[in-house]
Amino acid sequence: MARRVVITGMGTVNPLGNNVKDFWRAVQAGENGIGLLDRFDTTDFTSKIAGQVKDFAPEKSMEGKEARRMDRFTQFAVVSSLEALADAGLAPGTADPERLGIILGNGIGGIETLEAQAHRVYDKGPKAMHPLFVPMMISNEAAGNVAIRVQAFGPCSVVATACASSNDAIGHAWNIIRDGDADLMIAGGTEAPLTPLSLAGFCQLQATSTRNADPSHASRPFDKDRDGFVMSEGSGVILLEELEHAKRRGARIYAELAGYGATCDATHLTAPHPQGRGAIRAMRLALSTAGLMPTDVDYVNAHGTSTPINDPIETKAIKAVFGEHAGALKVSSTKSMTGHLLGAAGGVEAIVSILAIRDQFFPPTRNLEEPDAECDLDYVPNKGYKGRIRVAISNALGFGGHNSVVLFREFEA
């Protein structure tokens, strides 16, 4: 029989807060984390807005020299993982290292380091490159650095399935614990994509919002006036723990991770299947692995990117899975507040889903002023509220047709 897996710790760095407490307070208040991008000159960019992490100080969690040897996406991962471990009542080195593992999701690795070092090589020649360029830039070093910092000798890897990366990392970690190969897994995602190269690429795809004169209203999932997503940065991780292991050490349990589903549309490099084929199957797989019916679900944290194509297709997929029950569901997109953290989005939204269950609170969809006619579900417009949540699912739908869904439920002994 597969072992049960619970969540005992969480950590985040994102545009709404540099820890879980501040982040959740901002989500409940429906606050805005998006503004004009000031990291570099955006004069020639069609999109000039982003969700930036504010007042981030990695030196509070590690030595300054250590931080300087990491790309920003790795710094985010280390800080969030340390918060999750502390939240679970554990200190680095106190868990059995051979039974602790790390799986993180990431989309584009250390692109900040890549761009900076490319300029140095082109301008000054190869000897000008930083000697740690490779370990600062490659995606797996986020998990590697976390493992070193927390002394985790178990499975350690990075998943790269675009915007589905975090959910896939959480799902893979769930399976590792269920199969008995670890007792504790740090899982989620991290991303630091706010660079000229990255932003220019998404602008050229015409995927990003150009509501530059009004950044706080730029991310507006399911609204008829949405015009694209807002790129953001940050990380979100959770500590997964085998139930009996958690009980033996008297750990506080937030919720249970009970289901996971992953599929591929195999249709288009960037657009979802027109009928939501892969998203439908992923949600159904998550329900099936949890042994639940569609009517058991109370809340859906939607992928909800605020793009013209994605939102109605996800709505269509939700209606196909839940049938008549879709009208009773509460659905929201917290990207309306955070923007889109790409490979880290699912990690942050897993935290939202877990805390929604803990506090019995439906998070709002900010900026939903006039719903698209094709988006006709209850998206909790603009103001969150209390309500009964037994089961929540979180959707992540990525470029390449990757679909990943995780299902959390209220913990019952």
Catalytic residue among 172, 340, 375, 402: 340
From the candidates 163, 203, 245, 402, give the one annotated as an active-site residue. 163
Average pLDDT of 89-114? 96
Helical axes 196-204 vs 111-124, angle rounded to 10°: 110
The answer to whether residue 155 scores a pLDDT higher than 80 is yes
* Among 172, 245, 303, 402, the one annotated catalytic: 303
What was the pLDDT predicted at 151? 96
pLDDT grade for 331, boundaries at 50, 70 and 90: very high
Q: What is the pLDDT of residues 310-329, one digit of tens each?
A: 999 999 999 999 999 999 99
Answer for the pair 395, 335: CB distance below 8 angstroms, yes or no.
Answer: no
Q: Is 264 a catalytic residue?
A: no
- Going by pLDDT thresholds of 50, 70 and 90, the confidence category of residue 403 is very high
User: What average pLDDT does range 1-30 have in this prediction?
Assistant: 97
Distance CA 312, CA 324 (A): 17
Neighbours of 309 (CB within 10 A): 14
Domain boundaries in the chain? 5-248, 260-407
Examine the residue annotation and report whether 245 is marked as an active-site residue of this protein: no
pLDDT over threshold 80, residue 1: no
Buried b (16+ CB within 10 A) or exposed e, 76-103: bbbbbbbbbbebbebebeebeeebbbbb
The class (CATH top level) of 260-407 is: alpha beta
> What digits encode the pLDDT tens for the residues 127-144?
999 999 999 999 999 999
Choosing among 3.30.420.10, 3.10.20.30, 3.90.850.10, 3.40.47.10, the CATH entry for 5-248 is 3.40.47.10
Domains 5-248 and 260-407 share a fold: yes
Catalytic site includes residue 375? no
